[in-house]
Amino acid sequence: MTTTIHPSAIVDDGAQLGDGCRVWHFVHISAGARIGERCSFGQNVFVGNDVAIGNNVKIQNNVSVYDAVTLEDDVFCGPSMVFTNVYNPRSAIARKDEYRRTLVRQGATLGANCTVVCGITVGR
């Protein structure tokens, strides 16, 4: 199966992208990202370095999947939904050592515009 990457998208060297993925306009997939097969990334999606995405995942427009997030197989992320990775962010205090891992279990659906607070598991 052929992977399709739009000319305006950026897939950094080192990113692992499975077969049959579709990467649309203005997507940025960072070097450390690990992505399974047959995933779809809508317009303006960002995928961080410390992110694992399973097979058949659909991420709609304007979603940022930041470091410390894992999406298992068959997850649906609705448009403009948000993941967080620091519970109490501050601009003047670096908190990368305080990232909390978030796990979204197989087949879970995250609706449009929802916010997922870091450090939780969604689904069974």
Is the Cα dihedral 123, 102, 107, 27 positive or negative?
positive
* Amino acid, res. 103: L
On the 0-12 / 13-18 / 19+ scale of CB atoms within 10 A, 74 is: middle
pLDDT tens per residue across all 124 residues of the chain:
899 999 999 999 999 999 999 999 999 999 999 999 999 999 999 999 999 999 999 999 999 999 999 999 999 999 999 999 888 777 787 777 778 999 999 999 999 999 999 999 999 8
Can you name the residues that pair with 109 across neighbouring β-strands?
76
- The structure tokens 């897939």 sit at 11
What is the pTM (predicted TM-score) of this model?
Answer: 0.94
Q: How far apart are CA 50 and CA 102, in angstroms?
A: 11
CATH code, 38? 2.160.10.10
Q: Count of domains in the chain?
A: 1
Q: Which domain holds residue 19?
A: 4-122
